[in-house]
Amino acid sequence: MASHSLFPKNWLKPIAAVTSGLFLLGGTLTLGNADELRLGDPSRSKGTADRPVANEYRPVAPETEMIALPDIGASSGSIMTPEAERRLGGRFMRSVRQSLPIIEDPLLSDYIQRLGHRLVTKSDAPHRPFTFFLIDQAMVNAFAGPGGYIGVYSGLFLESQTESELASVLAHEIAHVTQNHLFRSFERAQRMSGPAAAMMLGAILLGAASGSADAGIAGVAGVQASMVQDQINFTRANEKEADRLGIKTLDGADFDPRAMPVFFERMGHASRLYETGAPEFLRTHPVTTSRIADAMGRAEQYPHKQPKENVQFQLVRATLRLRQFESPEQGIKHFRNSLQDGRYRSEDAQRYGYALALMHARNYPKARKYIDLLLKEAPDQIFFLIADATLDEATGNSARALKTLESALDLYPVNYPLTMAYAGLLLDVKRAAKAEAILQDAVQLLPNNANLYKLLARAAGEAGNLVAAHQYQAEYYFLSFQMESAIQQLDIALREKGLSFYQSSRIEARLEEFQVEKEAMKRTL
């Protein structure tokens, strides 16, 4: 099985194939220029997926097309049309994927998506599209891009001690999106003339991608100082507005609104304590004493809440902590020590992190001991069930692993992490047709999940359904806003021998839709 490139550290190799399929998916998403990828032979992606991803941060280089200002679409010029915003978001996300290590582990991405959407439903724009994702870097930061794409760095996640604290950052970023702060910046850029406007726009996008609107702007040579100051003042007003609405959202979603000022203040303290400078989040979302006092005052207006601790928050946190270590041994040491000292908010999460570290170090008997312990306490916890199946497969007990995942899916039908784990395992035991059937059902219910399509393409390919494999791969590219690659896949599918009239006309119709979308995306930016 191919090693994956998502984990920057070599030791974090897939433990067993239950998870390896997932990692391979992630790998292909981090390709420098995914447009160059051809499916043709499913094994071809292996070589490119192995390419290491730079661990250090690289800002997104503005593409040459960015010189042109976006087609804002709405005739009033007030905000973009939803379609234009969706396409701009797609462009933005493609750049983000090329420059930042996005975490594709289904358990982690599913968690952040669920948390984000729980907040969105209580925001000012509950029906607007949002996508939440995690970035595997220690930076303490988060950002909102066009199209409702909200990224959270591992460093910020680890800095938060309760789910309400993490939720407070997401609620703040959601408010930036619902208030169209980014597009109001675009508008300001548009009112400027020629090259200055183009530079400003590039800077805004650059800043959004680096999570640092102010830094991005300051980094562009030639932008006049007054313009920069103007932008920063504008940003400060936005910050207060995002705090105010974020606090309301937190309360609506049954989180503790006081978590926002508390978290912001602690981030500020931490930066003074360690003399490492303020966390990025505070630099780009400037926190002043008055802003914290403001937020505290607002939070106090809401009834006091003690939200129920969600163990999954702590389990994701333990997983992210483990990814920070240079070797599994360091992870083992960390979790063993904290279990011994009793320094933790959740014992289960420490045991879970410990068990994962032990699995990575191939200490399977000891890992088994801890996983059994966890399952005894919480037999229906998806995180533990997937770890259980992973360990079973690693120790040659695929039959038991399959049973575990099958009964888990009975309990949680169409659950994304379980579906990916189950289909991945089926592929490993050469039951591709069954994997294909499972994933076909899943994409009906989760039609916007690109990773499900990616695994479905592999399943169809391994089951010998080549035309379908190209069609699914095309849908994956389409959902990833890689129109050239999507079109190529359908071109290849049309050249397959023995297509029925029905098949080819269906593919041609879809191809036409892709062509239209490709042209529209070109015009977007």
Tell me how far apart the alpha carbons of residues 143 and 47 are, in angstroms, rounded to a whole number.
32
Which of 86, 94, 285, 351 binds Zn ion (CB under 5 A)? It is 285
* Residue 173 falls in the annotated catalytic set: yes
> Is the Cβ of residue 97 or residue 285 nearer to Zn ion in the bound state?
285
Q: Which residues contact 146 (CB under 8 A, 6 or more apart)?
A: 80, 85, 88, 89, 92, 182, 183, 208
- The nearest distance, CB 215 to Zn ion, in angstroms, is 13
Quick one: tokens of 120?
Answer: 């969105």
With H, G, I as helix, E, B as strand and everything else as coil, classify residue 134.
strand
Choose one: 9-17, 147-155, 283-291, 516-524; the region binding Zn ion (CB under 5 A).
283-291
- Residues 6+ away with beta carbon under 8 Å from 36: none
Q: Are 525 and 186 spatial neighbours (Cβ–Cβ below 8 Å)?
A: no
Residues 96-125 that bind Zn ion (CB under 5 A): none
From 63-71, 85-93, 278-286, 340-348, give the range in contact with Zn ion by CB under 5 A. 278-286
* Rounded Cα distance, 401 and 403, in Å: 5
Catalytic residue among 110, 136, 239, 243: 243
141 or 395: CB nearest Zn ion? 141
Alpha carbons within 13 A on the beta-carbon side of 60: 29
Q: CA 294 to CA 186: how far, in whole Å?
A: 28
Contact in structure between 131 and 137 (CB atoms under 8 Å)? no
Could you count the other beta carbons within 10 Å of the beta carbon of residue 125?
15
Report the distance separating Cα 261 and Cα 272, nearest Å. Answer: 17
Which residue has tokens 């990575």?
A: 360
Place of tokens 């575990």: 404
Closest residue to Zn ion, judged by C-beta, is 285
Q: Which is nearer to Zn ion, 247 or 486 (CB)?
A: 247
CB of 159: closest distance to Zn ion in angstroms? 16
Segment contacting Zn ion by CB under 5 A, of 231-239, 263-271, 305-313, 362-370 = 231-239
- If one asks whether residue 181 binds Zn ion (CB under 5 A), the answer comes out as no
Task: Rank residues 116 and 424 by Cβ distance to Zn ion and give the closer one.
Answer: 116
Query: Smallest gap, in angstroms, from Cβ of residue 169 to Zn ion?
Result: 9
Beta bridge partners of 144: 150
CB of 290 to Zn ion, least distance (A): 16
Min separation Cβ 181 and Zn ion, Å = 8
Using CB under 5 A, count the residues that bind Zn ion: 3
Closest contact distance (angstroms) between CB of 316 and Zn ion is 23
Closest to Zn ion by CB, 180 vs 314, is 180
Q: Segment near Zn ion (CB under 5 A), from 76-84, 281-289, 423-431, 433-441? A: 281-289
517 included as an active-site residue: no
Minimal distance, residue 173 CB to Zn ion, in Å: 7
From residue 268, alpha-carbon distances to 174, 213, 262, 400 in Å are 22, 19, 10, 49
**Which residues 232-261 are close enough to bind Zn ion by CB under 5 A?**
239, 242
CB-nearer residue toward Zn ion: 281 or 325: 281
Nearer Cβ to Zn ion (285/431): 285
Instruction: Give me the catalytic one of 173, 256, 388, 428.
Output: 173
Calculate the dihedral angle through the C-alpha atoms of 192, 195, 200, 205, rounding to the nearest 10 degrees. Answer: 130
Q: Which stretch binds Zn ion (CB under 5 A): 113-121, 285-293, 351-359, 516-524?
A: 285-293
Measure the CA–CA gap between 212 and 218, rounded to whole angstroms. Answer: 10
Q: Residue 504: in which H helix or E strand, if any?
A: helix 501-524
Instruction: Give the interface with Zn ion as residue ranges (CB under 5 A).
Output: 239, 242, 285
Active site amino acids: 173, 243
